[in-house]
Amino acid sequence: MALTAIPWQAAGAGGLVPKRRSSRAAGFAGTLSRLDLLAILTSAAARDVRGETTLASKPSFGRIDGKVALVTGGANGLGRAISTRLAEAGSLGLIVDRPAALAVFAPPADWLTFAADVRREADVHAAIARAVAHFGTLDIVVANAGVVPVWEETSAVDLAEWDETFAVNVRGVMATIKHAVPALKGHGGSIIALGSLNSWRAHPQQSAYTASKHAVLGIVRAAALDLGRFNIRVNAVGPGPVATDALLERMSRRASLGGPTVSEALRGHAEQTALRRMVTVDEVANTVLFLAGDLSSALTGLLIPIDAGLP
Ligand SMILES: NC(=O)c1ccc[n+]([C@@H]2O[C@H](COP(=O)([O-])OP(=O)(O)OC[C@H]3O[C@@H](n4cnc5c(N)ncnc54)[C@H](O)[C@@H]3O)[C@@H](O)[C@H]2O)c1
């Protein structure tokens, strides 16, 4: 008997069972003939359902050789660390950023840069088209570009600043994911958005940033449901405070306005965590690499906190 000739039928949460054994209990090995069991273990349909055909080969631990990545906001801070780590792990790619940021930035060897503003849909579309035209494909998309507005009491929120924050942090992320889909659809891929600890908790005077990062998580969850059938995974990382130049500048500005000194502010962040330290740019980049590659092949629609253990 050909093993694949057995007609399959759904058995609820139990998966597939051979049709002639209709009860869910028939899924237990003890009630199956050896041939039926062999069929369950080996037929392509059953292996598909169990997810065993998703990965072409065993995950290559931490390597993404030959993959092509696109990182928005990749000329500074976390985006720069992420593109560096993806390059070290074997990928090629394209870094999208504003012209001023790219003017003082050197990408990893054999990577391209593309000047674009993620607030503008046409720019995002053109950046993705450039990556595909040059490298022939696209596999990994990191929607990292983001801005942090000044702190404001809720009663004093500047709605122009609110719109600007949403234009980059929400519209920019949505445009990046939207225009990446045609490039990823044929072969699957991994999209990673930069959320924040503000994707699931709030801080006073940060309603615009907090709302924008909550929205990023909403986009990730919905897009994961839409795109999973194309083997496109969509996840987010949620870093706690990371001492990038951008964060240090904000701390310095607040210090000049009478707030805590930069060292006090850094120590304050560290003391709130279980590990009693802040997270590094490399630790964020490592988690993005994990989400980009096969080691995370069953993860989608998630936000991974990277916060050194915030209660
Ligand atoms: N640093 C942190 O503590 C921290 C924590 C959690 C989340 N994040 C998130 O990580 C991401 C990167 O943060 P960072 O600290 O590295 O910031 P950063 O300011 O150092 O880098 C952001 C990059 O995005 C680019 N960018 C901004 N607006 C853009 C636009 N309209 N079009 C194209 N590029 C644009 C900037 O030029 C810059 O290169 C952001 O989404 C931020 O919200 C940062």
Check if 119 has its Cβ closer than 6 Å to any atom of ligand 1: yes
Q: Are 115 and 107 in contact (CB under 8 A)?
A: no
Minimum CA distance residue for ligand 1 atom 20? 77
pLDDT of residue 34: 82
Q: Which atom of ligand 1 is nearest to the CA of 195?
A: 7
Which region, left, alpha or beta, applies to residue 309 given φ > 0 means left and ψ of -120 to 50 means alpha? Answer: left
CA of 105 to the centre of ligand 1 (A): 15
Instruction: Please write the tens of the pLDDT for every residue from 94-111.
Output: 999 999 999 999 999 999
Among residues 120, 140, 146, which one has the least CA distance to residue 238? 146
Q: Give the domain 68-242+279-306 fold.
A: Rossmann fold (3.40.50)
Min mean pLDDT across 33-42, 167-176, 266-275 is at 33-42
Q: What is the pLDDT of residue 47?
A: 75
In short, whether 279's Cβ falls inside 6 Å of ligand 1 is: no
* Residue 78: predicted pLDDT: 98
pLDDT for res 38? 80
Beta-ladder partners of 233: 190
Residue 263 a catalytic site member: no
What tens digit of pLDDT does each residue of 113-167 get?
999 999 999 999 999 999 999 999 999 999 999 999 999 999 999 999 999 999 9
- Domain range summary for the chain, segments of one domain joined by +: 3-49, 68-242+279-306
Q: For the chain, what is the mean pLDDT?
A: 90
Confidence at residue 146, expressed as pLDDT on a 0 to 100 scale: 98
C-alpha 199 to ligand 1 mean position (Å): 15
pLDDT given for residue 57 in this prediction: 63
Measuring CA to CA, which residue among 287, 67, 70, 293 is closest to residue 175? 70
Residue 59 pLDDT > 60: yes
Closest C-alpha among 7, 90, 60, 34 to residue 297: 60
Residue 4 in this model has a pLDDT that exceeds 70? no
220 burial (CB, 10 Å; 0-12 / 13-18 / 19+) is buried
User: Residue 24's pLDDT band (boundaries 50, 70, 90)?
Assistant: very low
pLDDT, one tens digit per residue, over 165-199 is 999 999 999 999 999 999 999 999 999 999 999 99
Cα–Cα nearest to 70, from 168, 158, 192 = 192
Distance from Cα 247 to the centre of ligand 1, integer Å: 10
Q: Give yes or no for residue 70 CB within 6 A of ligand 1.
A: no
Among candidate residues 227, 235, 218, 214, the one with its CA nearest the CA of residue 302: 235
Q: What percent of the chain has pLDDT over 90?
A: 80
Between the CA of 75 and the centroid of ligand 1 the distance, in Å, is: 9
Residue from 97, 102, 166, 279 whose mutation best tests the ligand 1 pocket (most atoms within 8 A of CB): 97
Is 239 a pocket residue for ligand 1 (Cβ < 6 Å)? yes
Q: Using a 6 Å cutoff on CB, does residue 236 contact ligand 1?
A: no
Question: Is residue 69 within 8 Å of 140, Cβ to Cβ?
Answer: yes
Ligand 1 pocket check for 310: Cβ under 6 Å: no
Contact (Cβ atoms closer than 8 angstroms) between residue 285 and residue 82: yes
What pLDDT is stored for residue 30 in this prediction?
Answer: 58
Amino acid identity of residue 121, one-letter, is E
79 lines ligand 1 (CB under 6 A): yes
Q: Which residue's CA is the nearest one to ligand 1's atom 8?
A: 196
Contact assessment for residue 130 and residue 114, using Cβ atoms and an 8 Å cutoff: yes
Distance between CA atoms of 118 and 265, rounded to whole angstroms?
A: 31
Both tokens assigned to 25:
């209990």
> Model confidence at 27, in pLDDT bands (50, 70, 90)?
very low
